Structure formats: structure tokens, C-alpha cells
């Protein structure tokens, strides 16, 4: 019976087996494939046994010069490579490009703080993200709520200096 992908419950499949499968088909050697994916030879042999049961195919068979992939395994390789490349793209962190940033950062600060940090902060922002801007807002009692709601991005707070106790 041929299993349709809709019938296969991916939640029940160990997706860690996919890089092992690709390495096995490419390397045609359990030990070298294991080294490629960071598994010992016995662990890779167990992975091969699990893959054989999952796919319903021997995957690698004895050949005159070692092991050879079955026709099914060879046919899977292009799909498998594409799938692993696609998964890598999903999991790879997206590169951050500050120069493409087009937004206004809202900062709550006192007048003195704005005068002290504003020019240097704005100069640094302009150099890294020329389309971004800063908006300084006055301090208000609801600052914490506004941060939690996403209405402001940063709040500067000054505490009075503590005097040393004698």
C-alpha cells in the first residue's frame, strides 16, 4: 500500500532523521554519514534502521563496491535536499538591515535627558538607519502601561542621587 503524505502524521516523525537520510544516500557509508551529522556509527546504524521502517525501503543495499542507494532512495535525494534547504531557511535568523529601517522610535525622557542624550543618539541613528527617526515624549505617570502597550519604545528614568548615611 502506498502511503499518501496526507496520511503521514509529521508530528509522529522524528525530523532529525532527515539529515541522516541525506547523508546516508550521499555518502553510501554509515560511518562517514554519521560523522557528517554528528552521530557515532552505532547511532547512525540505528537511524538507518528507523529510516528503513519509516520509508519501507532498505535505502542502502550491498553493492560490489560497498553500499549503493536503492532506486527509491536515489529518487528521494533531490526532494530531500530541497526540503532540508527550505527548513534551513525557515530556521536561519533573518539578517537585520538598519539602513532599510523606516520608523520612528518613541522615547520618554525628561527635558534634561533629551538635551544630554538626544543629539548623540540621533547622530548614531542617522548614520546606521538614515530613514529612521526619534521622537522624544514627556514623562508621564502611565509610562509603564504605554511601554507594555507598545506606544513607546524606551523610557529614561532618573533617580535622585542617594546621600551616604553617616
Per-residue pLDDT tens over the stretch 13-50: 899 999 999 999 999 999 999 999 999 999 999 999 99
User: What distance in Å separates the CA atoms of residue 110 and residue 105, rounded to the nearest whole number?
Assistant: 16
Tell me the average pLDDT of the chain: 89
Count of domains for the chain: 2
> Which CATH number belongs to the domain containing residue 151 in this structure?
3.40.190.10
Do 47 and 110 lie in one domain? The reply is no
**Do 105 and 87 belong to one domain?**
no
Q: Where a domain ends, among 56, 75, 91?
A: 91
What percent of the chain stands above pLDDT 90?
A: 74
* pTM (two decimals): 0.56
Is there a contact between 84 and 22 (Cβ–Cβ < 8 Å)? yes
One domain, residues 87 and 112: no
Instruction: Burial-class residue 96 by CB neighbours within 10 Å (0-12, 13-18, 19+).
Output: exposed
| Position 112 in a domain | yes
Answer yes or no: is 114 within a domain. yes
Tens of pLDDT along 54-97? Answer: 999 999 999 998 899 999 999 999 999 999 998 888 888 888 89
Asked if residue 6 is part of any domain, the answer here is: no
Distance CA 90, CA 81 (A): 14
Same domain membership, residue 66 and residue 130 = no
Distance CA 48, CA 25 (A): 10
CB 76 within 8 A of CB 21: yes
- Express as a percent the part of the chain with pLDDT over 70: 90
Same-domain status, 45 and 112: no
pLDDT of 20 reads: 96
154, β-bridge pairs: 107
| Same-domain status, 43 and 65 | yes
| Torsion angle of C-alpha atoms 21, 27, 33, 37, degrees rounded to 10 | -70
Amino acid at each position: 500500500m502506498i502511503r499518501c503524505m496526507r496520511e503521514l502524521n509529521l508530528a509522529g516523525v522524528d525530523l532529525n532523521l532527515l539529515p541522516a537520510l541525506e547523508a546516508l544516500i550521499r555518502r553510501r557509508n554509515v560511518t562517514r554519514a554519521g560523522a557528517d551529522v554528528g552521530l557515532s556509527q552505532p547511532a547512525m546504524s540505528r537511524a538507518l534502521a528507523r529510516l528503513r521502517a519509516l520509508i519501507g525501503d532498505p535505502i542502502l543495499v550491498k553493492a560490489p563496491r560497498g553500499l549503493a542507494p536503492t532506486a527509491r532512495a536515489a529518487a528521494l535525494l533531490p526532494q530531500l535536499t530541497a526540503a532540508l534547504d527550505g527548513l534551513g531557511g525557515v530556521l536561519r535568523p533573518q539578517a537585520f538591515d538598519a539602513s532599510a529601517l523606516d520608523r520612528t522610535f518613541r522615547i520618554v525622557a525628561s527635558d534634561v535627558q533629551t538635551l544630554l542624550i538626544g543629539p548623540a543618539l540621533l547622530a548614531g541613528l542617522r548614520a546606521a538607519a538614515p530613514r529612521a527617526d526619534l521622537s522624544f515624549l514627556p514623562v508621564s505617570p502611565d509610562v509603564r502601561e504605554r511601554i507594555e502597550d507598545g506606544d513607546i519604545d524606551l523610557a529614561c528614568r532618573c533617580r535622585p542621587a542617594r546621600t551616604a548615611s553617616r
